[in-house]
Amino acid sequence: MSNLSANVSIEFPTAAPATPYAERRPLPVLDIKHVSKVFTVGHQTVQALRDVNLTIQKGEFICLIGASGCGKSTLLRIMAGFEKASSGIVNMYGMPIAGPDPQRGMVFQDYGLFPWLTVKENIGFGQRQRNLPKARLEEISAYYTDMVGLTRFADYYPGQLSGGMKQRVSIARVLANECEVLLMDEPFGALDALTREKLQQDLLEIWERTKVTVVFVTHAVEEAVMLSDRVVVMTAGPGRIEEDITIELSRPRDITAIEFNEVRRNMTRHLSSHVSSKVAA
């Protein structure tokens, strides 16, 4: 039997090796570096994006805002891996994005549901491809169906649902794929105002609960101020990032509050001065 007497000296490592602060911070979930995109159609080329740089930390809620044609969807599709950048790179946790991956789920304005599958089958679709045991699959589907408040409609088909309900299914479907980044392209653009407000609130609740990172494209200032930690302003010709504005309002945000209106008013004024100075130039 060993005898650990007082004169046995054990050497503990002293201080950790000196690492510069920046290197010890966790890697950003998405890091977009010098991304440009040129489309060629026949003999013509369109520069959709020029030298876009954007760093997104895990759990952030980012809104991309800008006029039609400034490259918002193109940038989102590059983040998803559906489209390749002409130059530059997008890293996810330091690894270059090589193609689509369920870790980055896309939600479109037109839902993209399978009409022949029920709500719970649509939600479990991605997991079904992984050949999970039936009981586990049902558990996952039920969990996310409940998260978006559709348990009562689990056996309905998309054709039997309202637009807001369809969008809930499409959000639940990407979350059920264990997605880390929710990429949303004007997801509430086709909904009436009341449904949109309700879905915004529900999305915020889901975001707070799941800690998913959200990149949300919109052209509505109010929506951007309601939802985001940062509003990234894009401009066209060619598409690029003009500004990155942090929204300091505390949560939950109240659309009727004086502070909310002030931020919204300033942002609207700011965006329209961008547009008019471009027109004047």
**Single-letter code of the amino acid located at 73:** S
Choice from 29, 30, 35, 48 touching ligand ADP (CB under 6 A): 48
Site map (CB under 5 A) of Mg ion, residues 215-234, x = contact: --------------------
Q: Using CB distances below 5 to 8 A depending on partner kind, what does residue 230 bind out of ligand ADP, Mg ion, none?
A: none
> In the beta sheet, which residues pair with residue 41?
44
Choice from 27, 46, 190, 220 touching ligand ADP (CB under 6 A): 46
Residue closer to ligand ADP, measured from CB, 70 or 92: 70
Peptide bond into 252 cis (omega under 30): yes
Q: Which residues touch 2 (CB under 8 Å, ≥6 apart)?
A: none
> In the beta sheet, which residues pair with residue 185?
217
State whether residue 111 is helix, strand or coil: coil
Q: For the CB of residue 185, give the shortest distance to Mg ion in the complex, in Å.
A: 6
Q: Is 73 in the site for Mg ion (CB under 5 A)?
A: yes
Long-range contacts of 130-135 (CB under 8 A, 24+ apart): none
Total chain residues near Mg ion (CB under 5 A): 1
Q: Using CB distances below 5 to 8 A depending on partner kind, what does residue 39 bind out of Mg ion, ligand ADP, none?
A: ligand ADP
Site map (CB under 6 A) of ligand ADP, residues 132-171, x = contact: ----------------------------------------
CA distance 91 to 13: 34
Q: Using CB distances below 5 to 8 A depending on partner kind, what does residue 9 bind out of Mg ion, ligand ADP, none?
A: none
Q: For the CB of residue 38, give the shortest distance to ligand ADP in the complex, in Å.
A: 9
Q: For the CB of residue 181, give the shortest distance to ligand ADP in the complex, in Å.
A: 18
Choice from 10, 16, 41, 95 touching ligand ADP (CB under 6 A): 41
In angstroms, what is the C-alpha Rg of the chain?
23
Identify which of 156, 166, 161, 173 has the alpha carbon closest to the alpha carbon of residue 122.
173
Residue closer to Mg ion, measured from CB, 73 or 127: 73
Report yes or no: 264 and 254 within 8 Å, Cβ to Cβ. no
Stretch that binds ligand ADP, among 38-46, 149-157, 174-182, 196-204 (CB under 6 A): 38-46
Residue closer to ligand ADP, measured from CB, 175 or 215: 215
* Number of Cβ atoms within 10 Å of the Cβ of 88: 17
Report yes or no: 192 and 155 within 8 Å, Cβ to Cβ. no
Q: Is 39 in the site for ligand ADP (CB under 6 A)?
A: yes
- Token pair 């005898």: residue: 3
Task: Taking the CA atoms of 63, 50, 106 and 214 in sequence, report the sign of the dihedral they define.
Answer: negative
Q: Which residues touch 246 (CB under 8 Å, ≥6 apart)?
A: 229, 230
Site map (CB under 6 A) of ligand ADP, residues 49-88, x = contact: -----------------x-xxxxxxx--------------
Binding site for Mg ion (CB under 5 A): 73
Binding site for ligand ADP (CB under 6 A): 39, 41, 46, 48, 66, 68-74, 239
